[in-house]
Amino acid sequence: MTLRSDPSGLGVIVAAHRAETNYLGGPMYSAIRSLLFTLTIVSAALGLAACAPAEEAPAEAAQEAMPMDEGVLADELLADWESLKSLMVAIAEEMPEENYGYKPTDELRDFGEQVMHVAGAQVGLMGRLDAAATPLDLGEPADKAGFVQALSDSFDFGTEILNGQTDASLQEKVDGGFLGESTRARVVYRTMIHTWSEYGVQTVYLRLNGVVPPASQ
């Protein structure tokens, strides 16, 4: 009835305005305003919490970037080297002497040649850490005892060189042969990586002969 008696529509507008005013001024409006205020406070708190780690990060990064104590790098390299020696000598000793001439296929090295390959690579690479080091002659072993001794000697050669290194010298660059210019530390670890890969090959040689590698016993 109001719409019909008010062709101009002003009555509808006024009524709507009053309704809106009553709504905004009512309990619902107060609840919404309170909710928005709470959300604003929570958002601000979360923002401050998120900023806290960022402010602490530089200090943590600086602490992590602090240099190691002198001797830590040299000691760890030497410990890893000596541990690898124990593993490799043990597997060489585990293979029966009659199987030192065994090879899975004609294209591959026999087990004795495999042992000498490791020994020769170690002497060649570790010798690059000290240009003044006297090259080690591994000879040409004729029996199992000779092969095991040559392998052990190659590790002892590396140990002697590592004993003469410091953390500072290990970070100096030398001619790494096929590795190119490298730090002494890199040459050492690449030598050990090669030996580890050959250890995997040698475990297969043992398994094919019904021998369980020492590390798996």
Note the pLDDT tens digit of each residue in 181-198.
999 999 999 999 999 999
pLDDT digits (tens, 9 = 90+) for 45-95: 455 455 445 445 555 554 565 565 778 999 999 999 999 999 999 999 999
Please give the mean pLDDT across all residues of the chain: 81
Based on the fold, state whether residues 39 and 134 are members of the same structural domain. no
Q: Which two tokens stand for residue 34?
A: 């309170």
23-37, 73-87, 199-213: which range is least confident on average? Answer: 23-37
Q: Which residues are registered as beta bridge partners of 173?
A: 183
Based on the fold, state whether residues 110 and 57 are members of the same structural domain. no
**Secondary structure class of 165 (helix, strand, coil):** coil
78 domain-assigned: yes
Rounded distance between C-alpha atoms, residue 132 and residue 147, angstroms: 26
Based on the fold, state whether residues 107 and 52 are members of the same structural domain. no
Residue 48 has a pLDDT of: 47
**What's the DSSP call for residue 131?**
T
216 domain-assigned: no
Number of domains in the chain: 2
Based on the fold, state whether residues 49 and 123 are members of the same structural domain. no
Query: What is the CATH classification number for the domain harbouring 204?
Result: 1.20.120.450
Based on the fold, state whether residues 46 and 76 are members of the same structural domain. no
Q: Which stretches of 65-173 are DSSP H helices?
A: 72-94, 111-126, 144-163, 167-170
215 domain-assigned: no
Based on the fold, state whether residues 20 and 94 are members of the same structural domain. no
Based on the fold, state whether residues 35 and 101 are members of the same structural domain. no
Average pLDDT for 32-36 = 47
Based on the fold, state whether residues 101 and 181 are members of the same structural domain. yes
Residue 71 has a pLDDT of: 80
167 domain-assigned: yes
Provide the residue range defining the domain that includes 103.
72-209
Burial 85-111 (b: 16+ CB within 10 A, else e): beebbebbebbeeebbebeeeeeeeeb
pTM of the model: 0.69
